[in-house]
Amino acid sequence: MLSSFSLEVFSPKTQAATARLQTMATALAPFGPKFTSVTVGTGNGDPSLTDETLSLLNRHAIGQRAAHIAAGPYNMADLERRADAHLARGVTQAVAIRGDDGGQATVPVVELVGMLSDKGFDVCVAAYPETHPRAASEQACLNALKAKQDAGATTAITQFFFHADTFFRFRDRAVQAGITLDLIPGILPVVNWEATQRMAAQCGTQMDPDLAEAFARAQREGRADLMATAQGTELCYKLIEGGVDHLHFYTMNRAHPVADILLALGLTPSTALREVA
């Protein structure tokens, strides 16, 4: 049974994108997400955008707020200032990542996790069920996750994947490696097939040829949304049947793909009395 779910959004950079995020927050808040995390860019990322997005989420009461904090090219003093600023705004949940740095982070992500944990954050980290593209090996990837756990992380959200067995195999390997973190499957509803293919290629995410052809055919026939809902719902059902009780949705700042899957899973949005009076 699905006990809870969470969402991931990115900071909008235009008025139109802000309006779309507000629409998404209004639509998904009634489903009661446990938390919503805000991604952050590295190098060219504007911290003020993250702060504005966290404030927007707070106004829409869309679960607890969680801020991504990327090691990237920053030094520890920079990262501590960002962490303290989030704490001052009441954000106590953080997603610690290396970020898009080409593998050249000044501060190792393990040290970032330790700093955040010492400051009292509930620290979530990233996990890779199909091995990080830059990892030396599958075991090296697991060792890195174990090190983040030992540094104070309590939860790990996985990169997206398309087959439930991918997560189950990863979960088994993680247990064998001594990893006791809560492992949360990351779900990417397919909003745009071409964009999803590009993201999968960058992340090393595999898809069976039959499923890939089904998505391509649905795109050609104008039923991409139905295919995305069916595939996403089936994946979530299999994960829940396998003992998963929390799912994390990469929303791409769009409400309907996630809402359709939540409804198909049997979750219904609550409606405040003032909204129907």
Quick: pLDDT tens for 165-174.
Answer: 999 999 999 9
Does CATH place domain 4-267 in 3.20.20.220?
yes
DSSP the chain: ---EEEEEE----SHHHHHHHHHHHHHHGGG--SEEEE---SSS--HHHHHHHHHHHHHHT-SEEEEEEE-TT--HHHHHHHHHHHHHTT--EEEEE--SSTT--SS-HHHHHHHHHHTT-EEEEEE-TT--TT-S-HHHHHHHHHHHHHHT--EEEEEE-S-HHHHHHHHHHHHHTT--SEEEEEE---S-HHHHHHHHHHHT----HHHHHHHHHHHHTT-HHHHHHHHHHHHHHHHHHTT--EEEEE-TT-SHHHHHHHHHTT------GGGT-
In this prediction, residue 78 carries a pLDDT of 92
| Six-digit token string for 157 | 């959200």
221 counts as catalytic: no
pLDDT digits (tens, 9 = 90+) for 207-266: 899 999 999 999 899 999 999 999 999 999 999 999 999 999 999 999 999 999 999 999
Domain boundaries, the chain: 4-267
pTM over 0.85: yes
- In the predicted model, is pLDDT for residue 77 greater than 70? yes
